[in-house]
Every structure is written in structure tokens, then in C-alpha cells.
């Protein structure tokens, strides 16, 4: 059965995951993944994580730099297989989905994401809400319709993974990977997967959500600058509506006419509205580009 997975390397970034890593590796091995095709990238654990990995006969390397992005950047140099599957070492992602993800990407996709089925037992309401907001924001920026751009379990063609600039830091790496694939081939699929409560101390904080949001905006500037510029240009629409409401209130209920303020409100509203229309148009043009890319790839 191991020969079936000879073309994929499982990469697991770790940092103090002694409580979970043994169970994670056992699940992966039981699925049929050869130990030689599992690579643990450790970020300097002090709780015995590396000792557990070594005792199980799985290769472990020390990452350069800090954070998940640097862990993946380090791993890329060691991967020899056509496909790379990334998953966290905290027991949240069941290894039983590896075959499904692997079979899906071999159908011609470049990236297959394990879209998490979140519930209250696996993730708090705040983090669940944050994930939905960030995914929606990504979909708006890049004209996609994905369900979970922040999933930590996904399989990607190694050749594409090696094209990344690794500009994002830490947990923002998933958004960079998805943005890169969307804007190069757009051959992305999603597979629903279970998401379990992690073992050990949670590392993801609320502040990381804002950092990921910042990275999404920066990625939008790189991959879709036209939309970004027009989106920023639409901000005067908000100021124009606020000022216009102020002028209208005083005119209707107080009897005071503000000619200059009214004129400024009209100008701001028109400029902002025009930029908003152009931003929406740029998104539709980007989606048309994605469709053309799919057609050209098929041909």
C-alpha cells in the first residue's frame, strides 16, 4: 500500500507538540505513508518533540528562522516528490483524509485544500467567526469562492510550492500559497474534512487574525493591484455619504444651507462611487482571466 503514496511527502511543522506528535505520526503511518515520505520540521521545541519523532524513525530537521512560513521554506529544499501535503502536528487534522486529498490532486489540480467542518467542540465561536470573515475577505480581494483559505491541511504540487517568495510571516503562509495558485493556474479544489480540538497549548491568538488580514491586503497589492487601487479610491464614498447626511439633516430639520459642504459631499460621493464601480469591474475582469487560464490549461 505504501507504493501508492510514493509521490507525496508529508510535511509537519512543529513547535512544542510533544503531547500530539506521536499520535499524529501513528495515524499517518497507519494510512500507509512510508516513514521515508514524512518530514517533520521543528522550530526549536524544548518539550521533547524531536526525541519522540526520532524514536519513531521519522526524519526531523531544524527549521531556519521562526514561524510556520519559515518552516515550510526550509522543508522545500528537502522535498523530492511531485506532491507535498502539509498538516499541523497538533492532532487537529485527521490523517485519514490524506488518501482523498492525494487522489483529488492527481485529477489535475495544483492545490487541494482540506476545508474544515468547524463546530463548537473543535474551535471557539470567536475563531470560527474570524475564519469565516477572513475567508470571505480573501474571496472578495481575489474573486474566488473558497470555503476555507486558512486550513492547515492541504496538498500542493511541489513545483508550485518552490515558486513561492515566502513573503508572508507565520500563519499567513496559507493565504500566500492560495493567492499564488489562484493567480497562476487557478486549479484549486476543496475536500471537506473533520477538524478536531488540538492537543497541547493553543498558539493561534486573536492578534494573528489581524496579521493575516494585513497579509491578505499586501497580497492583493501584489497579485491584483488594479482592484486594490480602485478599492482604496472608493473610500471617499464613505466620507461623502457622512458629510452629505450631515448637510441634508441641517437643511431639512434646521433650515441651514451649507453650499460648500454640500458641493464637497457630492464630489466625494461621485469620485468614491466611480472608483467602487471600477473596483467591481476589475474583479470581474480577474475572474474572466481565471476562466481563460483554465481553458488554456485544458488545451
| Domain chopping of the chain, boundaries | 2-223, 226-298
> Could you tell me which residues come within 8 angstroms of residue 191 by beta carbon, excluding any fewer than 6 positions away?
97, 100, 101, 104, 112, 113, 114, 115
Give the per-residue pLDDT at 246: 95
What predicted TM-score, i.e. pTM, was given to this entire model? 0.82
Q: How confident is the model at residue 295 (pLDDT cuts 50, 70, 90)?
A: low
Query: In the structure grid, which three cell numbers stand for residue 53, read together?
Result: 519523532
Query: In the structure grid, which three cell numbers stand for residue 280, read together?
Result: 467591481
Nearest-angstrom CA–CA distance, 183 and 280:
18
Nearest-angstrom CA–CA distance, 139 and 78:
32
Q: Indicate whether 235 pLDDT > 70.
A: yes
Give the per-residue pLDDT at 1: 44
> How is the beta sheet containing 154-157 ordered, strand by strand?
59-62, 38-42, 8-14, 83-86, 154-157, 111-117, 188-194
Q: Indicate whether 141 pLDDT > 70.
A: yes
Give the per-residue pLDDT at 294: 62
189: region left, alpha or beta (phi > 0 left; psi from -120 to 50 alpha):
beta
Burial 94-103 (b: 16+ CB within 10 A, else e): bbebbeebbe
Give the per-residue pLDDT at 76: 95
Superfamily name and number for 2-223: Spore Coat Polysaccharide Biosynthesis Protein SpsA; Chain A (3.90.550.10)
Q: Indicate whether 29 pLDDT > 80.
A: yes
- Give per-residue pLDDT as tens, 72-125: 999 999 999 999 999 999 999 999 999 999 999 999 999 999 999 877 666 778
Nearest-angstrom CA–CA distance, 188 and 63:
28
Looking up cell 518530514 gives 39
Q: How confident is the model at residue 185 (pLDDT cuts 50, 70, 90)?
A: confident
Q: Where are the beta strands (DSSP E) in the chain?
A: 8-14, 38-42, 59-62, 83-86, 111-117, 154-157, 188-194
Give the per-residue pLDDT at 120: 65
Q: How confident is the model at residue 281 (pLDDT cuts 50, 70, 90)?
A: confident
Torsion 197-125-210-237 (CA) sign: positive
Amino acid at each position: 500500500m505504501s507504493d501508492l503514496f510514493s509521490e507525496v511527502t508529508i510535511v509537519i511543522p512543529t513547535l512544542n507538540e510533544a503531547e500530539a506528535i506521536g499520535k499524529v505520526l501513528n495515524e499517518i503511518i497507519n494510512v500507509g505513508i512510508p516513514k521515508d515520505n514524512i518530514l517533520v520540521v521543528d522550530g526549536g521545541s524544548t518539550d521533547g518533540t524531536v526525541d519522540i519523532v526520532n524514536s519513531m524513525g521519522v526524519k526531523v530537521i531544524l527549521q531556519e528562522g521562526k514561524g510556520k512560513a519559515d518552516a515550510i521554506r526550509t522543508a522545500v529544499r528537502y522535498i523530492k516528490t511531485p506532491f507535498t501535503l502539509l498538516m499541523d502536528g497538533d492532532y487537529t487534522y485527521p490523517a485519514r483524509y490524506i488518501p482523498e486529498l492525494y487522489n483529488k490532486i492527481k485529477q489535475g489540480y495544483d492545490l487541494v485544500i482540506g476545508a474544515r467542518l468547524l463546530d463548537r467542540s473543535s474551535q471557539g465561536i470567536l475563531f470560527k467567526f474570524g475564519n469565516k470573515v477572513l475567508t470571505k475577505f480573501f474571496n472578495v480581494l481575489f474573486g474566488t469562492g473558497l470555503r476555507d483559505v486558512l486550513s492547515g491541511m492541504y496538498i500542493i504540487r511541489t513545483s508550485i510550492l518552490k515558486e513561492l517568495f515566502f513573503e508572508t510571516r507565520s500563519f499567513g503562509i496559507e493565504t500566500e500559497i492560495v493567492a499564488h495558485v489562484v493567480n497562476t493556474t487557478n486549479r484549486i479544489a476543496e475536500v471537506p474534512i473533520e477538524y478536531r480540538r488540538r492537543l497541547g497549548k493553543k498558539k493561534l491568538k486573536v492578534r494573528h487574525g489581524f496579521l493575516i488580514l494585513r497579509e491578505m491586503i499586501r497580497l492583493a497589492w501584489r497579485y491584483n493591484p488594479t482592484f486594490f487601487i480602485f478599492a482604496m479610491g472608493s473610500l471617499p464614498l464613505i466620507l461623502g455619504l457622512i458629510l452629505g447626511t450631515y448637510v441634508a439633516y441641517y437643511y431639512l430639520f434646521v433650515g441651514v444651507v451649507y453650499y460648500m459642504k454640500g458641493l464637497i459631499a457630492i464630489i466625494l460621493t461621485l469620485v468614491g462611487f466611480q472608483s467602487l464601480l471600477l473596483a467591481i469591474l476589475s474583479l470581474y475582469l480577474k475572474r474572466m482571466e481565471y476562466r481563460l487560464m483554465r481553458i488554456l490549461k485544458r488545451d
